[in-house]
């Protein structure tokens, strides 16, 4: 197997891992938010919004990790495609 092929395969593996990571994190968040059961009243509205904002805001780090894997995989595939 040539170096170009190896780099392309490794890049594809990184992309698949990144995509799987993003899907799993989205699934976990969906389950967590699905279980969030609160009786919304005027008194607790702001705390409920704060809880939800914290959960959604925490997604940035998870998405960043997943997209970094996808980016690395794309870069490796591009390198494998043009490397001589």
Please report the pLDDT score of residue 84 as a whole number: 57
pLDDT digits (tens, 9 = 90+) for 6-54: 999 999 999 999 999 999 998 988 888 777 777 777 788 888 888 888 8
Q: Are 22 and 63 in contact (CB under 8 A)?
A: yes
How many C-beta atoms surround the C-beta of residue 71 within 10 A? 13
pLDDT digits (tens, 9 = 90+) for 53-72: 887 888 888 899 999 999 99
SS3 state at 40:
coil
Residue 33: which residues within 8 A CB-CB, separation 6 or more? 52, 55
Distinct helix (H) and strand (E) counts, the chain: 3, 0
Instruction: Reply yes or no on whether the pLDDT at 78 is more than 70.
Output: yes
């Amino acid at each position: 197997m040539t170096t170009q092929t190896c780099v392309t395969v490794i890049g594809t593996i990184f992309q698949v891992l990144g995509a799987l990571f993003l899907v799993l994190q989205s699934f976990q968040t969906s389950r967590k938010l699905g279980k969030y059961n609160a009786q919304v009243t005027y008194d607790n509205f702001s705390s409920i919004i704060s809880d939800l904002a914290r959960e959604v805001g925490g997604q940035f780090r998870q998405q960043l990790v997943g997209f970094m894997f996808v980016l690395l995989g794309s870069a490796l595939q591009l390198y494998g495609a043009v490397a001589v």
